[in-house]
Structure 1
Amino acid sequence: MDDGSTAVTQDFDEISSDFATLARLASAQSYEDVRLLLARLVRKYRSQHPQLAAQLDQSLKATQTRAAGASPLRRELTAPPAHAGDARLELIKVFDDLGGMEPPLLPAQLMQQIEAIVLERKQRDALLARGISPTRSAILVGEPGLGKTLSARWIAHQLNKPLWVLDLTAVMSSLLGKTGSNLRAALDHAKASSAVLLLDEVDAIAKRRSDESDIGELKRLVTVILQEVDQWPDTGLLLAATNHPELVDPALWRRFDAVLTFTAPEAATTAVAIRRYLGQDLHDLESWVETLAAGLQGKSLSDVERTVASLRRAHALNHTPLEALVRQAVGEGAGELSKAQRLELAVQMARTGQHTHQEISRLTGVARDTIRKHAGPSPRRGRGMK
């Protein structure tokens, strides 16, 4: 047999093996694994067998549509483990972003940390061959709305896995008295499935053991969490998130391989986010992006997204002048800005020429003489809201 025939035979054998695996997973009703395998096969065959890859991609999108339903792509766990007919596994939610998602908007250093974790997971075998374990666990720390859950979803997306989320606040409120066994059952299932698991609100359980107000049940759960982090297999990835790092037992911090700290976005990041959130209204509001970014400094991106969405709705339905809408949007947060930030906002607004210095001064609290000093003379006639 010549080299060409040998290559064809090997190719056929490989395709046959892949489809045999696909059939086995489907017959076992392992629907999550079916979609994961389909996603891998689409990438695998895209260059050599584009027609086959396109057909597989259509099947993948069909399964995602049935599984996810309406946006956002969030649903209950489709294949709970045996003996899990109670509430404990209903508390596991799944974000399935295999169809694609935009990367989170994060500071460069934080994004580099996340990309390093992803690369380690993708190159796991190469690391293990050198006796090095990839990152098995990471704790995400920061105020609400700064992108912790979104980043966890992005990590799972990059690894072609769904993200499983276990809300520990819900666990505590629903299952007090059985929490230890229920928590272990959920964690054991995640380990067996090589999942990317996020323990949300980890401070609800992993509190300092010196907390005198805590009951014995919660203190015992700290030990459960500590053991699980220590023993988490490198086939999976365990993430935890907290808005209150001061409540977390110090012993837990030492057990995570990485700490990812989320902070309020910089003005440049806020501007990028605003452009993304504006969607088809970007053309109309492009000249106002920097003003909005200056006025929304220090806000979480979830707050920025809500503000932009409100602005877009008002623009679409009320036909209010854009400068009035922008002034309203930035005015809501102007009082929370520092003196330097208010000056930056005032100068930015003055340079657009859409408002008089008197209007800007009323909005920002910056004196007109100061605005004139930094931004030049006021326009002869303001076009803002009177």
Structure 2
Amino acid sequence: MVQVDENDLSLLFQQGIQGNAASFVLLARRLVSRLKKSDPATATLLAETLSSMSSPTRSVTQPVDADSRRGLLKEEMAVVLDHEPIWSPDIALKLGRVIDERRLATKLRLSGLEPMKALLFKGPPGVGKTMACRWLARELGLPLLTLDLATVMSSLLGKTGTNVRAVVDYGRGFPCVLLLDEFDSIAKRRDDERDVGELKRLVTVLLQAIDEWPSTSLLVAATNHPELLDPAVWRRFDLELDFENPSEPAIVQFLRAEGISVTVATELAAIYAGSSYADLRRSAQSAKKAAVLSDRSFEEVLAEEGLTSMAALQESTFLRDVKIKRLAAEGISHRDIAQQLGISHPTVGRVLKKTKGN
């Protein structure tokens, strides 16, 4: 017969009746942990129930903006990828850890532990942050919800907070992967003097939402500008993943998957070094079409377009550096330069540091 402490059972019932899902789950986890030694079969059954449990307050319909009536998120019930992603060893290892913890959640809960529930993806555009989130949803067999930032952000900041809360509450209602893209737009530093108090309160709303996120689902925040995030945001995440442009070996792997020979792929990798995965895929598609239309070799066209792009990039980088130096000479701060030119704050610092070194 299962032996359960009367006080534990009473507290569990109280939290369930009051609808405090987070407290209910916490108490249930403690109960499972205590039962593990005396009644492992019951402990396993309860742990499995916790793993599959969804909130009784699930919304039937997606949340919408009160004024425009536009949906606040995009939902994919079954994610299908048009190609298999290529990860760096570090990213592959960390994503593997996430999958392992989610798939073995019952085993963790039997020891009073919880799987990761909140991840932070950092890196420049086009390096695979969104793809990684979609890949996780596919591997875990969960629907993917993506916050539509254009709809959520409102000129009335108080309404923006309401929209963000509505999206998070909807995502908490059932097992899913929720992607908060362009996270820096809604989780900016609260010490930024240019932002009004209402935006700072929005950050507080967001932090509370992350804290209350259930371990039965996965929340992923993606940002191109981690330096803009409020310091309090960082400790809310169980794992941070730094995405970078692919290395030359990774570019070779990408080109090989596109049907290019090892020898040519190795030579082309040097030309396309520094490109993002998104840039590589765009270049490959463009070269394939040009090759078909001109009756030329795909490899030849790809090499030719790569050399042309590289020359243009070098010219554009030179002009960018000139603008950075000119604005800095006018006494404009690094952060303001970054915003004016649409580049990252660290990039400004690197250019000016290199100038001083010369």
TM range (shorter): 0.5 to 0.7
Separation in 1, partners of 2:270, 2:200: 45
Matches within 5 A, 1:274-285: 274-276=255-257, 278=258, 282=259
TM-score (norm 1): 0.61
Q: Compared with structure 1, are the counterparts of its residues 79 and 226 closer, same or farther at alpha carbon in structure 2 (3 Å cutoff)?
A: same
Q: Compared with structure 1, are the counterparts of its residues 200 and 167 closer, same or farther at alpha carbon in structure 2 (3 Å cutoff)?
A: farther
Contact 2:181 2:221 (C-alpha < 8 Å) held by counterparts: yes
Separation in 2, partners of 1:82, 1:110: 33
Separation in 2, partners of 1:314, 1:321: 9
Pairing partner for 1:189 from 155, 161, 170: 170
Shift of 1:175: 6.2
Paired residues in the alignment total 255
CA deviation map 1:57-102 (0-9, x unaligned): xxxxxxxxxxxxxxxxxxxxx9624787765761301234445665
Q: Does 1:200 pair with 2:181?
A: yes
Separation in 2, partners of 1:84, 1:172: 10
Contact 1:93 1:164 (C-alpha < 8 Å) held by counterparts: yes
Contact 2:182 2:224 (C-alpha < 8 Å) held by counterparts: yes
Q: Does 1:212 pair with 2:193?
A: yes
Match of 2:273? 297
Pairing partner for 2:104 from 92, 108, 123: 123
Pairing partner for 2:247 from 263, 266, 285: 266
Matches within 5 A, 1:113-192: 113-173=94-154, 176-192=157-173
Match of 1:312? 288
CA deviation map 1:323-345 (0-9, x unaligned): 652442221343458xxxxxxxx
| SS, match of residue 255 in structure 1 | coil
| SS, match of residue 273 in structure 2 | coil
CA deviation map 1:163-203 (0-9, x unaligned): 11003354215764411112111111100122210111111
Separation in 2, partners of 1:113, 1:321: 38
CA deviation map 1:24-76 (0-9, x unaligned): xxxxxxxxxxxxxxxxxxxxxxxxxxxxxxxxxxxxxxxxxxxxxxxxxxxxx
Separation in 1, partners of 2:151, 2:115: 30
Pairing partner for 2:219 from 213, 227, 238: 238
Match of 2:92? 111
Contact 1:143 1:262 (C-alpha < 8 Å) held by counterparts: yes
Dislocated runs of 4+, deviation >6 Å: 82-85
CA deviation map 1:132-169 (0-9, x unaligned): 11101001000010000000001011110121100335
Separation in 1, partners of 2:68, 2:96: 35
TM-score (norm 2): 0.65
Q: Which has the higher contact order (CA 8 A, sep 6+)?
A: 2
Q: Does 1:223 pair with 2:219?
A: no
Pairing partner for 1:330 from 303, 306, 309: 306
Shift of 1:117: 0.6
Separation in 2, partners of 1:323, 1:99: 28
Q: Compared with structure 1, are the counterparts of its residues 92 and 174 closer, same or farther at alpha carbon in structure 2 (3 Å cutoff)?
A: farther
Separation in 2, partners of 1:179, 1:116: 34
Q: Compared with structure 1, are the counterparts of its residues 82 and 300 closer, same or farther at alpha carbon in structure 2 (3 Å cutoff)?
A: closer
Separation in 2, partners of 1:287, 1:248: 43
Letter in 2 for 1:167: D
| SS, match of residue 80 in structure 1 | coil
- Note the residue ranges of structure 1 that are not aligned, 5 or more in a row: 1-77, 338-386
| SS, match of residue 306 in structure 2 | helix
Separation in 2, partners of 1:312, 1:133: 47
Q: Compared with structure 1, are the counterparts of its residues 272 and 120 closer, same or farther at alpha carbon in structure 2 (3 Å cutoff)?
A: same
Separation in 2, partners of 1:131, 1:101: 39
Q: Compared with structure 1, are the counterparts of its residues 234 and 184 closer, same or farther at alpha carbon in structure 2 (3 Å cutoff)?
A: same
Separation in 2, partners of 1:137, 1:210: 24
Separation in 1, partners of 2:281, 2:208: 39
| SS, match of residue 145 in structure 2 | strand
CA RMSD of aligned residues (A): 2.5
CA deviation map 1:291-320 (0-9, x unaligned): 222210110011001111111111111124
CA deviation map 1:329-379 (0-9, x unaligned): 221343458xxxxxxxxxxxxxxxxxxxxxxxxxxxxxxxxxxxxxxxxxx
- Note the residue ranges of structure 2 that are not aligned, 5 or more in a row: 1-58, 315-358
Match of 2:238? 257
Contact 1:142 1:243 (C-alpha < 8 Å) held by counterparts: yes
Matches within 5 A, 1:2-81: 80-81=61-62
| SS, match of residue 115 in structure 2 | coil
| SS, match of residue 235 in structure 2 | helix
Separation in 2, partners of 1:302, 1:210: 34
